[in-house]
Structure 1
Amino acid sequence: MPQTVKGVVSRAKGAPVELVDISIPDPGPGEAVVQVQSCGVCHTDLHYREGGINDDYPFLLGHEAAGVVESVGEGVIEVAPGDFVILNWRAVCGLCRACAKGKPWYCFNTHNATQKMTIAEGDDAGIELSPALGIGAFAEKTLVAAGQCTKVDPEADAAAVGLLGCGVMAGFGAAVNTGGVGRGDSIAVIGCGGVGNAAIAGAKTAGATTIIAVDVDPRKLDTATKFGATHTVNGKDEDVVERIKELTGGFGADVVVEAVGRPETYEQAFYARDLAGTVVLVGVPTPDKQVTLPMIEIFGRGGALKSSWYGDCLPSRDFPMLVDLYRQGRFDLDGFVSERIGLGDIEDAFTKMEHGDVLRSVVVL
């Protein structure tokens, strides 16, 4: 029988979100119903509310989540009822050309639940909801594809490890998976929000010895030092490229992660890397943004210019490993949790996020 639970819905562009009753169907083949324990408030949720993703309103927001599998549909073998899981928005298919090449983190056919959750009340009763990133976890329960559930250590704090579902994984993976930062390397991270600080923490975990944080907000630079930055550069006061070169023996960093998504910061990243170094774009640009670089500089500097999709992660490989590192005290997921809030506090959390007052507000159910 379908269940009625509370969920946070965005009905129209720019309109405040609402806490409403939603209907969750029983899981069908390949699907799972998850009782949500926590869900981080990510910029992507705000982009959905503002119409920056698409206009498939109404949206069921929330996607950085952890919880317990309540029930599964026919044919599900990945997880079972009672499993503690982190949700992900890139459930790999195992069949596409990327998966066939042994690179499932590039899967071109990721999938979500087939059935739709709906509004359960008022004049809109029965209207289908568009779940954010195929998850929709600002809710007491949600319906997802079973492949979107990754089983991890149930002793871990849901509020902390749920953040691996998006921003923290994107940043860690940008540095370690995409950028390939390793022991003794230098790295500069431009933009020290949640994703940038995760890149810094990832670089520290991987053994980088020079970790340079770049931002224009002193508060964010202070936070970056707590996650492992060895040096900070305030882009308002200093020439970012020259300062990074000064801190790396005049050469530039081995890896530069751009976590802003703007042409001017991408250009800084390009010129702040060493010869044969790597630039990783993980900041999400808007469709109107363009960058122009001299082709002779692209050719002459060598190396690699990469973009990072979800930190090029494979949830089944990366989530359990990062949770283990967290449990061992080697990866500070707790440091990303700025506050714990309820489902009715999402609008206030959006405001705090826009003002740079938090790394992550986390809804705890």
Structure 2
Amino acid sequence: MPQKVKAVIARSKDAPVELTTIVVPDPGPGEAVVDIKTCGVCHTDLHYVEGGIGDDYPYLLGHEATGVVSAVGEGVTNVEVGDTVILNWRAVCGECRACKKGDLKYCFSTFNAEQKMTLEDGTELEPALGIGAFAEKTLVHSGQCTRVDGVDSVDEQAAVGLLGCGVMAGIGAAVNTGEVKRGESVAVIGCGGVGVAAVAGAKLAGATTIVAVDIDPKKLAKAEELGATVTVNSKEQDAVEAIREATGGVGADVVIEAVGRPETYEQAFYARDLAGRVVLVGVPTPEMKIELPLLEVFGRGGALKSSWYGDCLPERDFPMLVDQYRLGRLPLEAFVTEKIGIDEVNEAFDTMKSGDVLRSVVVL
């Protein structure tokens, strides 16, 4: 029987979000209903509110979530009722050209639930990133559920749930896309949530020199807490020169751009060593353009790469990173700045804009 639950929606562009009642249908074939336990407040959710993703309002917000499977539909075999899961927005299809080439991380046809959750009047909701987890329950495709074991307390769930988006994007930019190796040098430009996660990923991969660049001393302090060996305030120092100085004058083996702006991407390009790798994980806007001398692109060699969702495979990466967290090698709890109620999402967006948090996490 369909269930009525409390949830947070964006009804129209730039309007304050609303806590309202939604209807969650019983799961159909391949679908699962998940009782949400925690959900991080991600900048992507704010993009939905501001119209930066599209105009398919009303949106059911929230996507960095943990929960417990409470019902499954016909044919579901990867999870069972009672499983603790992290939700993800890459449920690979196995059939598209990327999957058939073995590049599952680039799947062009990821799955979402076919049924729609609705408002009480029947208005269909568009779930953020196909998840919609600022809700007591949500309906997803079963492939969006990655089972994790031994994550029982609220604090643990709040921490590991952030792997569902931003933290995975940053860690994966270092570990998967950048392929950071033991003993290499890494620079991270932009130390918001994704950037500091890239710092943590570089440390986890064994980088010995990790340079963090930002204009905010608070963010640089957090980057240092998570593994940066050198911090650079680019208001006070030239970022490229500082990165070269920290790496023996040659530049970093890997430079991760976590801002998504032409000027910081250019810094990343020139701050790498010969044959170094640049990884773009910051998300640019459609009108942005960059111009680089083609001879410099040729002469420096190496690779210019983009990182989508940290090039992760959730079923491979989430359990591995949860294990690293439980072993004390990956301090995911450091990303949780505050825990809030489901009725405090508007305030969390205001706090996010101030730059005073890495993540607010809704606890249900």
Q: How does 1:192-231 map to 2 (within 5 A)?
A: 192-231=191-230
How many residue pairs are counted as aligned between the two chains? 361
Aligned to 2:126: 130
Amino acid of the residue matched to residue 343 of structure 2? G
What is the one-letter code of the residue matched to 1:181?
Answer: V
Partner residue, 1:253: 252
SS in 1 for 2:249: coil
Instruction: Return the alpha-carbon distance in structure 1 between the equivalents of residues 54 and 340 of structure 2.
Output: 27
Give the aligned partner of residue 162 of structure 2.
Answer: 163
Letter in 2 for 1:152: V
How far, CA to CA, are the matches of 1:225 and 1:288 in structure 2?
Answer: 33
* Partner amino acid, structure 2, of 1:143: L
Q: Secondary structure at the match of 2:346?
A: helix
> For the residues of structure 2 that align with 1:119 and 1:182, how far apart are their CA atoms?
49
CA distance in 2, matches of 1:40, 1:202: 19
1:174 aligned partner: 173
TM-superposition CA deviations, 1:242-263 (whole Å, max 9, x none)? 1100110110000000000000
Aligned to 1:56: 56
The CA distance in 2 between the partners of 1:155 and 1:200, in whole Å, is: 24
Aligned equivalents of 1:155 and 1:362: distance in 2? Answer: 16
Q: Does 152-161 or 311-320 show the bigger shift?
A: 152-161
SS in structure 1 of the partner of residue 53 of structure 2:
coil
Query: Could you tell me which residue of structure 2 aligns to residue 146 of structure 1?
Result: 142
Matching of residues 1-365 of structure 1 within 5 Å: 1-120=1-120, 125-156=121-152, 157-365=156-364
Letter in 2 for 1:111: F
Q: Describe the superposition over 1:116-138 as per-residue Cα deviations: whole angstroms up to 9, x where unpaired.
A: 00011xxxx11000000000000
**Residues of 2 paired with 1:153 and 1:272: CA distance?**
41
What is the one-letter code of the residue matched to 1:258? E
Unaligned stretches of 5+ residues in structure 1: none
> SS of the counterpart of 1:189?
strand
Give the distance between the partners of 2:78 and 2:286, measured in 1 at CA: 36
Q: Distance in 2 between matches of 1:355 and 1:287?
A: 25
Per the alignment, in what secondary structure is the counterpart of residue 267 of structure 2? helix
Alpha-carbon deviations, 1:101-125, whole Å to 9, x = none?
Answer: 22211111111000000011xxxx1
Task: Name the CA distance, whole Å, in 1 between partners of 2:118 and 2:150.
Answer: 30
Q: Distance in 2 between matches of 1:103 and 1:344?
A: 40
Q: CA deviation at 1:155?
A: 2.7
| Mapped partners of 1:96, 1:154: distance in 2 | 34
Runs of 4+ in 1 over 6 A off after TM superposition: none
> Amino acid of the residue matched to residue 191 of structure 2?
C
TM-score by length of structure 2 reads: 0.98
Shift of 1:283: 0.4
Letter of the 2:137 counterpart: K
Q: Deviations over 1:321-342 (max 9, x none)?
A: 0000001111000000000001
SS in 2 for 1:351: helix
What is the CA–CA distance in structure 2 between the aligned matches of 1:217 and 1:247, rounded to whole Å?
Answer: 19
SS in 2 for 1:49: helix
SS in 2 for 1:338: strand
- Tell me the CA shift for residue 154 of structure 1: 3.5
Q: Distance in 1 between matches of 2:330 and 2:239?
A: 28
State the distance in 2 between where 1:8 and 1:23 align.
Answer: 12
Letter of the structure 2 residue corresponding to residue 9 of structure 1: I
Distance 2:151 2:69 in 1: 15
Q: Could you say what the CA RMSD is over the residues aligned between the two structures, in angstroms?
A: 0.6
| Cα distance between partner residues in 1 of 2:63 and 2:33 | 14
Normalising by structure 1, we get a TM-score of: 0.98
Q: CA–CA distance in 1 between the matches of 2:150 and 2:103?
A: 28
In 2, distance between residues paired with 1:27 and 1:145?
9
Deviations 1:149-202, CA, capped at 9 Å, x for gaps? 000013351101000000000000001100000100000000101100110001
CA distance in 2 between partners of 1:342 and 1:293 (Å)? 47
Q: How far is 1:304 from its partner?
A: 0.4
